[in-house]
Amino acid sequence: MLYLAQVHKNDFLDQHQLRLLARQEADNLWAIIPEEAFILLGKVKIMSENLLVLVELSPTGDIERLEDAANWVLHLVQSYLTIGITPEFLQHEAERAEHWRQSLTLQNQDLARRSLELEARREQIQALEESLKRDKNGVTVWFTGLSGAGKTTICEFVEKQLRIHGYKVEVLDGDAVRQNLCKGLGFSKEDRQENIRRIGFVAHLLARNNVIVLVSAISPYREIREQVRQSIPSFIEVYVNASLEVCEQRDVKGLYKKARSGEIKHFIGIDDPYEIPLRPEVECKTNQESVAESATKVLEKLKELGYIVARVNNL
């Protein structure tokens, strides 16, 4: 067995091969003990085998331990062949084996404890990294599309998922901003552009303070959308794509019906045009996708660009 341990060091046998050879060699060594010694040596033989099992199960796979075990078994055999084995000698070696077993057990327990501690540390570091990422990645996600396309619905879904995972989120809804921040503005092209400019300014202030800003606004004109994009370093455009026919069928607020009857002027899609985004980061086809599917596209883009961590995936 000592020879096998040395061969392992020199020839780089793997642990499985070494264990098989060690077992064979151990059988050969025990075979040379006279039959009348078997009863006396039985207890020591069992202990030696138990020690070999302990070494094999050791998390470190320590070759020095296997070499020590080989030396010990060889020492027992040589002692018997030269001087015989007395009950006193056997008792001494049994106590030595028990001490060795306890030592190995304590080492394995210590290694297991350290392994648990390292795993706990790893989880703590991962949680800290996620916390830092949540606190240092402001971005503006701009949902644009016709009235009734599904901007607010998707926006609310994304907001809920982000808040569940501890992100700082603010929603700027076009209608709410117009009522509270832009009351004096009408619906001409110039007023619409000024409305979008103001929303963009507020979004920029929030995003630079590490907030994920979700903007839901028709924002029909490509030129002002591009101006806002240029003014905000971290910007994701989401085109919520639903045809005019689909939006009119939905018409939750009854606005299309009023626009068709002339009660509302300058209504986007009826009187005024909507200019489709040319290169949006995300396109949600809400007449073909569920709300969850559309929201997942937005969350996946946020992950891809590094604004949120990969754990936000339990939609």
Has 131 been annotated as catalytic? no
Contact 172, 199 (CB under 8 A): yes
DSSP letter for 272, please.
B
The continuous run of DSSP H or E covering 139 comes out as strand 139-144
Q: How far is CA 79 from each of CA 38, 198, 210, rounded to the nearest angstrom?
A: 15, 94, 75
Chain centroid to CA 191: 45
Q: How far apart are CA 43 and CA 48, in angstroms?
A: 9
Residue 272's alpha-carbon distances to 64, 129, 243, 260, 268, in angstroms, are 83, 47, 15, 12, 5
Active-site choice (48, 216, 219, 294): 219
Q: What is the dihedral of CA 259, 260, 265, 267, to 10 degrees?
A: 60
Catalytic sites, residue numbers: 219
